[in-house]
Amino acid sequence: MTTKNALELEPAALWGPFLDLSRIPRGSGNEAAAAKWFAERAKAAGCEVLTDKVGNVLARKKAAKGREKAIPVILQCHIDMVCEKNEGTAHDFKKDAIQVFRDGDKLRARGTTLGADNGIGVAAGLAVLESKDLAHGPIEVLVTIDEETGMTGAKGLAAGWMKGKWLLNLDSEEEGELTIGCAGGVDTVGTRKMKFGKAPAGTALRIKVAGLKGGHSGIDIEKGRGNALKVLAQVVDAASHRFQVALATFAGGNKRNAIAREAAAVVVVPAADEKALRELVAGQETAWKAAFGAIDPGLTITVGEAKAEQVMTAADADALVSLVLAGPHGVEAMSPDIPGLVQTSTNLGIVAQKDDSFEVCFLSRSAIDSSKYALAARVAAACRLAGFAAEHSGGYPGWKPEPKSAVVAHVQAVHQKVVGKPMAVKAIHAGLECGLIGENYPTVEMASIGPSMWDVHTPDEHVSIPSVGRFWDLLQEILARVPTA
């Protein structure tokens, strides 16, 4: 394969499928072609392949000779990816291939998310199915759809479909860590129908917040990174206290599970105040840069020319900006049991206009169901106080850690033999599908592993090439050493 040889990626058995998958558009809700690709590759490898009513694919591979009595293992991954790109990047996620490139010992994409989350897991599962010399027991590879926007694949998974007794989720993002638990989540969307009128006389200007790191709303929420929507609301609010500001547009963020990196608003101010407004924005940029410091040094707040024919009423504009200002965002509580682990948080992910209505989207997470729903109720209360109707959706459970399970002990023992030290056992403040799968498969023991990748859900997403090789070696050894049932 030309691309593989040009990038000199090893092991070819894993990187080849990953690069092939990167050519297929697979944003959440648009995974059908990628799922078909996986199913066809698995069939070509001689596997039994099933597809359920929601679009999940299950491939079964018979045990290697002499390993028929080994405990049946499920490898689980999701085929969709978060579609984020930098402004100015010419990329259509519905038809264009991801432009992958090598940066030393890292793999990146040009101006977009890479899709290593969870394309590496899919590629590893396919590599196992296509392997001719791996000594393994009965294997199932479950590829789910729509993990990133609602976990609808895991939610739609039927009881009794899978036969495995152990499940290895391949969606972790740190080499050397064994994940055995995760937080649950619930979405809250505030909606308000707005009234618009003719724009007043004056100058229309576009205020844009950009350059922030963003990141995964679970993994990165405790890092103190800037939220572009929050910063923009502060700037617009400050301007409104000094000038006669009419708000025409206000939008930002693309995914409810990604920290908003960019946001922009179009305002109309009296022409005489344009210079002063530009000076105010420059002052805000200086202040926010100082506030974020080394945490988010790339922040820019700029003012450019714009056009505006209509503006929101003052009451509607105030309601929208007030909700963005007051709505919860960030860490709510740390775990009292596990040092350094976030227990409860909310991400203010998206503000978007749909016709004459505005939607403000929040994702609340917690390892404790009562805390999760209490925080979601507070988000809904903030929405109502601002005159927005609030609706909850997409709730999914957390995954309760079982540190003494047989699969955890097995993975630890193999890692000790292969690497020479135990893995760090942890729970994470992010959503994995294990909690949902466990509802229909309560007797299946689960654990999660993966290579090192960073800045997932952002255009800075990158994965460690050497760690992928070590992940592949570990996975093969885990499967080869599975004991008999």
Catalytic residue IDs: 80, 147
For residue 197, give the nearest of 308, 306, 311, 307 by alpha carbon: 311
User: DSSP per residue over 407-455, as a string?
Assistant: HHHHHHHHHHHHHSSPPEEEEESS--THHHHHHH-TT-EEEE----EES
CA distances from 261 to 149, 154, 253, 255, 275 (A): 18, 28, 6, 10, 27
Backbone angles phi, psi at 331, to 5 degrees: -75, 130
Cα–Cα distance, 43 to 55 (Å, whole number): 16
Cβ–Cβ < 8 Å for 328, 362? yes
Q: How many DSSP H helices and E strands does the chain contain?
A: 12, 25
Backbone angles phi, psi at 141, to 5 degrees: -115, 115
Backbone angles phi, psi at 203, to 5 degrees: -115, 130
Cα–Cα distance, 143 to 84 (Å, whole number): 22
Measured in whole angstroms, the distance separating CA 268 from the mean position of its chain's CA atoms is: 35
**Three-class HEC string of 142-185:** EEECCCCCCCHHHHCCCCCCCCCCEEEECCCCCCCEEEEEECEE
Which residue is listed with tokens 């993975």? 411
> Can you state the angle between helices 32-44 and 116-130, rounded to 10 degrees?
20
- Hey, what amino acid is at 212? L
Cβ–Cβ < 8 Å for 211, 260? no
For residue 185, give the nearest of 346, 31, 25 by alpha carbon: 346
∠ CA(426), CA(427), CA(428), 5° rounding?
120
